[in-house]
Structure 1
Amino acid sequence: MTELADLGVMGLAVMGANLARNAARKGFGVALYNRHGDKTDTLVSEFGHEGRFSPAKDLAGFVAALAKPRVIIIMVKAGKPVDDVIDDLVPHLDDGDIVIDGGNSLFTDTDRRFETLKSKNIRFIGMGVSGGEEGALEGPSMMPGGEREAYARIEPMVTKMAAQVDGTPCCTFIGPGGAGHYVKMVHNGIEYADMQLITEAYDLMKTVYGLDAPAMADVFKQWKSGDLDSYLIEITAAVLAKTDSTGHPLVDSIVDQAEQKGTGRWTAANALELGVPLTGITEAVFARVLSSQRKLRLEAAKALPFKQPAGRKAQAADLDAIRDALYASKIVAYAQGFEQMTAASQQYGWDLKLGEVATIWRGGCIIRARFLDRIRDAYGSETTLSNLILQDYFRDAVLKAEPGWRRVVSLAVEHGVAIPAFSSSLSYYDGLRRERGPANLLQGLRDYFGAHTYRRLDQEGSFHTRWSQDGSEVKV
């Protein structure tokens, strides 16, 4: 009798295929199904030797190949395709079976699917998976959310499939409902900011100092050996060092038009709903949007010509200042992302363990970085951390980087180089540390035109000035 599979994977594009191979390599039997059967055949033909696969040509055969209670991972495009697959799959399932959405779904969609399937006695897990195609195969960071009991059923598999750092799997139960996909969404938002900051550092070195791609590759390699050590810094050096068939740097031939799949926009929109000042991530999203308006930019370049800065030779101190600006702004991006998760945990009743989130982001995922160990330690204490920048290590790091950060922002403004993430991060930092800012005037203006009231420093309660009447102040 054929041994039943431990796990089913539906959707065998690159991510789904690599997750299936990952599970098989770890000793689990994997049932395979794809709407177009050729992908199933190709996977088995090329990688069938890696483990125990059970390919199926139809849903009935796919489900029948799985041990009960069945565990099925869906790896299809977010949105309606997920709902369509679930609708097709549910009639074949039994009470207690588990469906996992491993794509980048919007967390509110995950909440809805969780409740819908719960009413049908099917358990649903929304699981963020980070690491790209390499991570899916070699070990990603995995962020599952749903019912803890359902997670207990899949835990032996996903913790073995996940990346391992210091013997700890980069996978843990995140929280109920859509919590797992929410944390993955914020992860992707931080990724947007991180990448934008890197491109701004690149632009400064190229435009102001005239460094070519190989020279910048060497700079990023050096930065990886210090506090900026991260996967994104590592692959930046690799991209800058790559030459194409002409022998020239590949990066110089790539169209400067960034694409996006929506997770950054979702992060920014949710921050607005929660009232979290997510400036770095939001500016990174806008920067991608502006880059995509290439036709408009080409037109504007003619009407508003950019004056190329006179060549300046980059000194070690200049590059150190850019490094410091990058590091300080990166801290701000993470601080804002973790503040957003704190607010979401309170708003949605999730009780997120942010120290555990930092722990599972240390390996496998795109934003893995050396200083996630510091973030884990910061949120691992019993005390409530209101903002990551106020923790001793990060406070000292930002204070140390501040002179270079300010110098770089000033330099960019002087030479007309756009640095939306650097500058907004610095403005956030300056606004955060002001005991008294200018919003008192703003409240006065709101009261003048809309009678929105204001509070006073010296008295309790709310007040309104009768601006267009007798000018008297009344307590309301």
Structure 2
Amino acid sequence: MSHHTQLSNIGVIGLGVMGKNLALNIADNGYHVAIFDLDNGKINAALEQEHHERKEGLAPRMQACNNLSQMLDKLVSPKVIVLSVPAGKPVDAICQTLIEAGITAEDIVIDTGNSLWTDTVAREAQYKDQFKFFSSAVSGGEVGARFGPSLMPSGDPSAWQYVAPIWNAIAAKVDPVTGLPIERFEPGNPVTEGEPCTTYIGPAGSGHYVKMVHNGIEYADMQLICEAYQLLHDGLGISTHEIGDIFNRWNQGSLNSYLMGISAEVLQQDDPLTGKPLVEVILDKAGQKGTGLWTAVSSLQIGCPAPTIAEAVYARAVSTQKELRIQLSQTLAGPAKASISDEEKTAFIDALEDALFCAKVCCYAQGFQLMAMAAKEQNWTLNFAEIAKIWRAGCIIRATFLQSITAAYQQNAQLPNLLMAQSFSSSLAAKQLNWRKTVAASVMQGIPAPCISSAIAYYDSYRCETLPANLLQGQRDFFGAHTFERTDKPAGEKYHLDWSAKQRTLNKV
């Protein structure tokens, strides 16, 4: 090796949108990065951008590699390699190539893709003798990756010790007092002050599980905002631009969040082709990558109620049934249009703001309870105050609201459900009437609000000391002798009524 090539601190494989921006972010923070992609054009684009953004007088901090064995040669030991490739087979293909190229047991490979958490657990076990397979979910999209994402690492603790300084440097930062993001979008001038939005989540797979739940909450949060938009647009006949103004106003209050801010911006954007509001020429068929679906499936498997997250996944599914909706819109009856006074409009807009807040609390409560139940099942110890903290900046669901969640878990780390936190139960008590009015109005006007209304059913179910599951157990015992427990006998004692006999007798089972 010639004397002038400096060894790199870290390698990045896969220079798509996320990989390239992560590599530039790492370089910004003073690390030397070796890069590789099967597509030469992507390597050149990354080198060009690094050259273009680099301050004068600074040496290049990025070097290209022609193959993976060359990358291993260019890295200091233990070698740290970041994978930014599509989840699934590509990850294993690269791991195999790295094994053939001579990676050692001390080296660390970090999967930053949206992998299914169970795949991560399996990979960590599969590769443990060849190298340390580590994972770190990344949230924040393109801009987050470039200037500070929220990072959710999990796996071998010794690998984390080694990687932590780099992760702390590249993560988004928040002001510890206000919980607000500290942002600077200047290449070569990274934010170094504040608390980094990364923390060690736990054993293999836990980071990807937490990211999966983050995405489930994200699905619900987006759908809640979309329902508010439809209630204002179709229910009150408010123009798209004006709804953008309303959302901007809400974004100054308790609903302040990244998603609320961008929704306002989307609504106020005009279409360059027609001059109409852009949103009105976008086809109403939503795509999905599967992470929200995984969250809903996991909640069903564990038996953790997460109806608002599931409804958000269903809402995307309904949106794809465009042809059927066009047909049924001609044949299915709806309610007659009611006229609404200006006073009623103003009152409804205020009610909707409260409803959105309440539903949002419930969807976070569902996500955090799901993580708690999964942790119990997997024997993970998750720190929910820390998880709420690292979502305050850099990620898609970042919101000032997470400061309150952090505080709730700092007061009680064992909180079984966020609805038990005094701060949330009292704000829901204050706002619940407006929430109910909103749901009633949506039903009476025939405007679907599956997430806002599933959230209130969730809230009301948890308020019920006695649910009609007693009748359900009676039904199950009648047709399938499934037995039941009694309110007046010790827990765990099972009873069955002989429903077919003339003299219906009760038997202890």
Q: Per the shorter chain, which TM-score range? A: over 0.9
Give the partner amino acid of 1:423. Answer: S
Secondary structure of the corresponding residue to residue 315 of structure 1:
helix
- Alignment counterpart, residue 496 of structure 2, candidates 464, 467, 470: 464
Partner of 2:355: 325
TM-fit CA distance, 1:107:
0.2
Query: Which of 438, 441, 444 is matched with 2:468 structurally?
Result: 438
Which range is displaced more, 453-462 or 223-232?
453-462
Counterpart contact for 1:207–1:308, Cα < 8 Å: no
Q: Aligned pair 1:18/2:21, yes or no?
A: yes
Per the alignment, residue 33 of structure 1 pairs with 36
The amino acid that maps onto 2:90 is: P
Q: Distance in 2 between matches of 1:163 and 1:309?
A: 47
The CA deviation at 1:25 is 0.8
Give the superposition deviation at 1:428: 0.6
Q: Which residue of 2 aligns with 1:85?
A: 94
Q: Which of 369, 389, 397 pairs up with 1:367?
A: 397
1:188 to partner: Cα distance: 0.3
- Structure 2 partner of 1:220: 247
- In structure 1, the partner of 2:81 is 72
**AA partner of residue 32 (structure 1):** I
1:114 maps to what in 2?
A: 124
Q: Is this contact kept in 1: 2:236–2:345, CA < 8 A?
A: no
Give the SS at the match of 2:448. Answer: coil
Q: Which sections of structure 1, spanning at least 5 residues, go unmatched? A: none
Quote the Cα distance in structure 1 between the aligned partners of 2:337 and 2:420.
37
Shift of 1:306: 5.1
Q: Give the Å deviation of 1:308.
A: 7.1
SS of 2:496's equivalent in the other structure is strand
1:175-231 CA-partner distances (Å, limit 9, x unpaired):
001011000000000000000100000000001100111100100000011100110
What one-letter code is carried by the residue in structure 2 that aligns with 1:119?
D
Q: 1:185 aligns with which of 194, 198, 212?
A: 212
Tell me if 1:338 matches 2:338: no
2:425 to 359, 372, 395: 395
Matching residue within 267, 270, 287 for 1:259: 287
Following the alignment from structure 1 to structure 2, what is the Cα–Cα distance between the partners of residues 413 and 33?
A: 54
Cα shift readout 1:288-339 (whole Å, capped 9, x = no counterpart): 0110111221122223255673453463211011111110000000001000
Letter in structure 1 aligned against 2:120: T
Question: Which residue number in structure 2 is paired with residue 316 of structure 1?
Answer: 346
Letter of the structure 1 residue corresponding to residue 507 of structure 2:
V
Query: Hey, what's the Cα distance between the residues in 2 that align with 1:406 and 1:378?
Result: 25
Identify the residue that residue 161 of structure 2 maps to in structure 1.
Answer: 152
Separation of aligned partners in 2, 1:210 and 1:101: 47
**Cα offsets for 1:147-169 (capped at 9, x unmatched):** 11100110000110000112110
Asked if 1:250 is matched to 2:248, the reply is no
Q: Which residue of 2 aligns with 1:241?
A: 268
**Secondary structure of 2:236's partner?**
coil
Q: Which amino acid aligns with 2:43?
A: T
Pair 1:408-2:438 in alignment:
yes
**Alpha-carbon separation, structure 2, partners of 1:26 and 1:379:** 32
8 A Cα contact 1:193 1:281, kept in partner: yes
Structure 2: where are the runs of 5+ without partners?
Answer: 55-59, 176-193
SS of residue paired to 2:127: helix
Supply the distance in 1 between the matched residues of 2:80 and 2:323 (Cα, whole angstroms): 48
Alignment of 1:294-305 (within 5 A): 294-304=322-332
Cα contact 2:383–2:413 (8 A) shared by 1: no
Asked if 1:105 corresponds to 2:115, the answer is yes
Contact 2:105 2:129 (C-alpha < 8 Å) held by counterparts? no
Aligned match of 2:507: 474
What CA distance in whole angstroms lies between the structure 1 residues aligned with 2:122 and 2:351?
Answer: 47
Letter in 1 for 2:315: A
One-letter code aligned to 2:326:
L
Q: Please give the alpha-carbon distance, in whole angstroms, between the structure 2 residues aligned to 1:210 and 1:400.
A: 28
Report the Cα offset of residue 64 of structure 1. 1.4
Amino acid paired to 2:145? A
TM-score w.r.t. length of structure 1: 0.98
CA RMSD of aligned residues (A): 1.2
Cα pair distance change 1:60/1:383, threshold 3 Å: closer
Q: Aligned letter for 2:495?
A: F
Supply the AA of the counterpart residue of 1:463: Y
1: distance between equivalents of 2:42 and 2:323?
38
- Kindly tell me the number of residue pairs found equivalent between the two proteins: 475
What code does the residue aligned with 2:459 have?
Y
Which amino acid counterpart does residue 127 of structure 2 have in structure 1? Answer: L
How far apart, CA to CA, are the structure 1 residues paired with 2:484 and 2:238?
A: 52
Report the Cα offset of residue 383 of structure 1: 5.1
Instruction: Describe the SS at the equivalent of 1:208.
Output: helix
Q: Percent identity?
A: 45
Answer yes or no: is the 8 Å Cα contact 1:207–1:309 preserved in 2: no
CA distance in 1 between partners of 2:218 and 2:121 (Å): 24
